[in-house]
Copies of this chain bind each other. A is one copy, B any other.
Amino acid sequence: MELRQLRSLVTLVESDCNVSRAAERLYMVQSAVSQHILRLEEELGVHLFMRQGKRITGLTDAGEKVLQHARRVLAETGNILDVGRDHVEDRSGILRIGTTHTQARYVLPPIVKRFNRDYPRVELQIHQASPRQLVGMALENQVDFAICTEDLADQPRLTTVPSYQWNRSVIAPPGHPLLLEDTIDLPALCRYPIITYVTGFTGRGHFDRILHKAGLEPHIVLTAASTDIIKTYVRERMGIGIIASMAYAPERDADLACRDLSHLFPWEVTRIAYPEGKYLRRYQEHFIALFKRDIAERVSREQQPGMRPV
């Protein structure tokens, strides 16, 4: 068995079982990849791929199993290379972050900026996806860190680092009747059409559960994956917006009133996740430290009510 062969196997699967395309990605000719697979199958004594004539159509059961282990082999060889890179030159490299729109737009910017100042020669990549996708991307080593709130707790093959906590706020156009209330409670919220996040995003799960427990049926008039969309329709007076508190920017959103709702909903924990056992390069550890430090500073500086350190 050779690492090359495993590399070909994984790339082939990621190229929809198209040998030609896999070969391109690997900067090799088709025949080489083909041979890798054939030799691997020969050595193991199992067909890893199902074929119709000569067309490869998919993985066999054995292929699925081998693929999983092959992925981990490659991940670990990647870790070994990273140990080397860190000793040769620990100030440059790539940092691939997978995260949701909310984090990328409202939380990461100051952190990323500072990180870039500390490590100007590290190339930063921000990949945007849904929490569920992010879990897969972290596991398949398509990103170094997955940063989000959902789906990360108790994930068996991921190490997760809690980075900060946040809660929700309600936004509404100035003069909206909700804003006249002294203290906002759940029934008050449910008296108006609500615009909030799509299921699976940004604390939507707990939001639904709390309202359901209270026996309330909110009138959710529109949902979106990103806060910008929500704000847009709140401005259009389609309803009140329930958003993550850190997504309210006082300057830019001066035309929207905002009220904290921390007393109504549980605090959400945003986590940084990476594959269990992954070797963290110096700058990767630095990023995690920076994340926590920045949140702590921001909270104490801006007195933001809907956000707090872990």
Q: Which residues of A contact B (CB under 8 A)?
A: 1-3, 6, 43-46, 62, 65-66, 68-70, 72-73, 76-77, 79-81, 83-85, 87-88, 157, 277, 279
Contacts and interface: CB of A to CB of B under 8 A. Distances in A.
Contact of A81 (B44, B83, B277): B44
A77 B157 CA distance: 18
A46 B83 contact: yes
Nearest to A88: B45
A88 B66 CA distance: 14
Given A1-B77, A44-B88, A45-B88, 4 more contacts: A1-B80, A1-B81, A68-B277, A69-B80
Contacts of A46: 83-84, 87-88
Copies of chain A in the complex: 2
Max chain B Cβ within 10 angstroms of own Cβ: one of A77, A84, A87: A84
Given A1-B3, A2-B3, A72-B72, A80 B44 contact: yes
Given A44-B83, A83-B62, A84-B44, A72 B277 contact: yes
A69 B73 contact: no
Secondary structure of the A contact surface, majority rule:
helix
A45 B80 contact: no
B279 A65 contact: yes
A68 to B, nearest CB: 8
Contacts of A44: 80-81, 83-84, 87-88
Contact of A277 (B85, B157, B279): B157
Given A2-B3, A3-B3, A46-B88, A279 B69 contact: yes
A44 B279 CA distance: 14
Contacts of A77: 1, 69, 73
A69 B76 contact: yes
A232 to B, nearest CB: 45
A66 B80 contact: yes
A79 B64 CA distance: 13
Nearest to A2: B3
Given A3-B1, A46-B87, A70 B80 contact: yes
A66 to B, nearest CB: 5
Contacts of A6: 80
Contacts of A76: 69-70, 72-73, 76
Nearest to A47: B87
Nearest to A159: B156
A65 B72 CA distance: 16
